[in-house]
Amino acid sequence: MADYLDDLRLAHVLADAADAATTARFKALDLKVETKPDMTPVSEADKAAEELIRGQLQRARPRDAVLGEEFGIQGTGPRRWVIDPIDGTKNYVRGVPVWATLISLMEAGEGGYQPVVGVVSAPALSRRWWAAKGHGAFTGRSLTSATRIHASRVSRLSDASFAYSSLSGWEEQGRLNGFLDLTREVWRTRAYGDFWPYMMVAEGSVDLCAEPELSLWDMAATAIIVTEAGGTFTGLDGRPGPHSGNAAASNGLLHDELLGYLNQRY
């Protein structure tokens, strides 16, 4: 079995470069921000970070394909790097420090491409998380300064902490009542949003999280980190991995209950 550790080391190098580029422009008074066709913002830092990562991958892994949020797919083959240069752009452009660069390597296999390496780097929080298939999940400042992380063992909803991003998406999909029912059953709810709640599930500080609409680059890195930490990552349809256009993550013990509530439609 491939160990993917060389790819993980490369992902850290890519994250280091992206961190330098994004932090240099964070809170810049002259930061340029545009609106994409889907009405979401994109900053010059998003584009610069993705271009930087693509350039390094072209030199280090010229045979691999690259899929990024800002510039789409380039190349073909059984290995595909998936990049979100800034997950949490709305936070980034407003000076909120909860944003991260998401880097994943996906490999073709049964059921399509599956993530085998993931790095989530949040430099404004001074945090980084990562995982490689079969090697567990970790957090720390570097590969040599790391702590292994594990999902929680909370087994009752009444003791569980549930994180989410917003209410509007659940309402648009007709899932709001089930969502609200879930919030009434759990011990605690907080709207952290973006990559962060998935990393909290992996660390065991949050037990459940979900979002009703996401893209592959939002989920590829977080999915491998959650699963390597012993948690469960699926779509709302229960399909494992980051392929359903939405996400549900948990410590595994509460996953069926999580999906049951979020699939209630009134």
The number of helices, as runs of H, and strands, as runs of E, in the chain is 8, 15
What's the CA angle centered on 115, arms 110 and 117, to 5 degrees? Answer: 140
Runs of H (alpha helix) within the chain: 5-25, 44-60, 89-94, 168-172, 176-185, 196-203, 216-228, 255-262
Separation of alpha carbons 95 and 44, rounded Å: 15
Q: What is the tens place of the pLDDT at every residue in 34-73?
A: 776 665 767 788 888 999 999 999 999 999 999 998 899 9
Q: Which two tokens stand for residue 216?
A: 């592959």
The residue ranges of the chain whose pLDDT is under 70 are: 1-2, 29, 36-39, 41, 265-266
- Residue 54: what pLDDT? 96
Q: Can you give the pTM of this predicted structure?
A: 0.94
